[in-house]
Amino acid sequence: MRLPCIVLCLLIPVSLVAAPPAGSPLAEMDSYLSKAGDAEDSNQLSEAIRSYVTVLALAEESPSSDAKSRTDAAQAALSRIGTSLSLEPGSEWVAPNGSQIAGGARNLGKDGGLSPSVYLYQSFGSGKSPVADAPIFFQFVKNAGSLVSFVTTDTYGKANTTVASVDQAGSEALIRACPVFKARGKSYMFQSVYRDFAYLPPANIIKVMALESSELGPGGKASTVDPVASALKEAGFEVQIEEARPDDANFRKAYAGDVKALAALGIDASAPYAAFVLVDVAGAKQMELNGKKYNIFTAAATVNIRLLRSDGSVAFSLPVDGVKGQGASSEAAVQDAFKRAGDSVGPELRRRMQDLQDALAKG
């Protein structure tokens, strides 16, 4: 509510007592100060704020010592109003214990994802009243993306924006809401009145597992799991290693992005990433030169590293080329191919680690 007249009279300098000429900038400022007070008395706070901001704009257009006194009165009123305003989150953002929850960065801008939603209130002692027709400015203060920047509060003081996209869905995002009023080209932001909405990236947990096979059947302990896990640990991932040999059929389904197969392997919201290493060694060939066969066998391996999300989407894929094994028998050549695959995957993954991290950051 506005201050009693006797208090205002004490605050207004003597120079304001004499009425300024009609139609002058000072007269217009006085008119808006009066309108602002009337709007506050009738509980039309947004209109009052716009009138006070108009006074600030007029003072900038026609600066003078008398204009400054009116600016001071408008600024004091806006500061007083600012201390009574609060932005509260929409009910969908409030946990049962009353605290504000966080959204998921990967769901931001998608169906089912949380969008920022606020209520603007003015407090009166122990009570509060919704502030309608107030412009709320939404902006990314961490990460970036596309959203509806200005939304006007409804009768209940509510405003919610729509987020179309986020640039880095794998990184934390923060969207801030704040009341910003505009009049005659001037903007006034209540900087101490804001509400932040945090969107957290997926957990940094990644499960590593490998399937190594050849025409001779499955290999022994996978030689590629530990090198891949080591490279991912060095890059800052929280790594979980699957030591047991996975079921071939289920592994290949999960490798292809089957969501049910991924869930069966424990890839879910709590461990949202999986690093699969698939090694297939072709049949060994015996070396033959000029019609003479030698006890030298070679075996070529197809090696692929693939990182998937729990929803089955591929985040990163890396083929490792040129892996060949050699030995005095077919079995020895195959085993050597498996070993060389294990020797190759770590360095290759480290070489492409920045690409992998960029891919995960983009979502």
Same domain, 156 and 237: no
Which of these three, 66, 84, 102, is where a domain ends? 84
Same domain, 353 and 284: yes
Same domain, 158 and 232: no
- Asked whether residue 3 is domain-assigned, the answer is no
- Max intra-chain CA distance, the chain: 119
- Asked whether residue 2 is domain-assigned, the answer is no
- Asked whether residue 6 is domain-assigned, the answer is no
Alpha-carbon Rg for the chain, nearest whole angstrom, is: 33
- Asked whether residue 8 is domain-assigned, the answer is no
Which of these three, 200, 231, 250, is where a domain ends? 200
Which residues does residue 327 pair with via DSSP β-bridges, in sequence order?
Answer: 297
- CA–centroid distance for 199 within its chain: 5
From first to last of its 363 residues, the chain has per-residue pLDDT tens of 454 443 444 444 544 456 788 878 999 999 999 999 999 999 999 999 999 999 999 999 999 998 999 999 999 999 999 999 999 999 999 999 999 999 988 889 888 889 999 999 999 878 899 999 999 999 999 999 999 999 999 999 999 999 999 998 888 999 999 999 999 999 999 989 999 999 998 888 899 999 998 887 766 678 999 999 999 999 888 999 987 788 889 999 999 999 999 999 888 877 889 999 999 998 889 888 888 888 899 999 999 999 999 889 999 999 999 999 999 999 999 999 999 999 999 999 999 999 988 888 877
CA atoms 60, 70, 47, 25: torsion sign: negative
Same domain, 182 and 217: no
Domain at 253, CATH number: 3.40.50
- Cα within 13 Å of Cα(245), Cβ side: 13
Residue 239: predicted pLDDT: 93
Condensed to tens digits (0 to 9), the pLDDT of residues 101-141 reads: 999 888 898 888 899 999 999 998 788 999 999 999 999 99
Same domain, 72 and 101: no
Domain hosting residue 114, numbered range: 86-200
Q: What are the φ and ψ backbone dihedral angles of 241, each rounded to 5 degrees?
A: -100, 130
- Asked whether residue 251 is domain-assigned, the answer is yes
Domain at 136, CATH number: 2.60.40
Distance between CA 208 and CA 224 in Å, rounded? Answer: 10
Same domain, 354 and 224: yes
Which of these three, 200, 232, 265, is where a domain ends? 200
Same domain, 233 and 274: yes
Same domain, 261 and 181: no
Number of domains in the chain: 3
Same domain, 246 and 352: yes
Q: Which of 4, 175, 210, 25 shows the shortest CA–CA distance to 100?
A: 175
- List CB contacts of 236: < 8 A, sequence separation 6 or more: 204
Same domain, 320 and 233: yes
- Asked whether residue 245 is domain-assigned, the answer is yes
- Asked whether residue 313 is domain-assigned, the answer is yes
Same domain, 213 and 292: yes
Same domain, 212 and 351: yes
Amino acid at 36: A
Distance between CA 163 and CA 129 in Å, rounded? Answer: 28
- Asked whether residue 33 is domain-assigned, the answer is yes
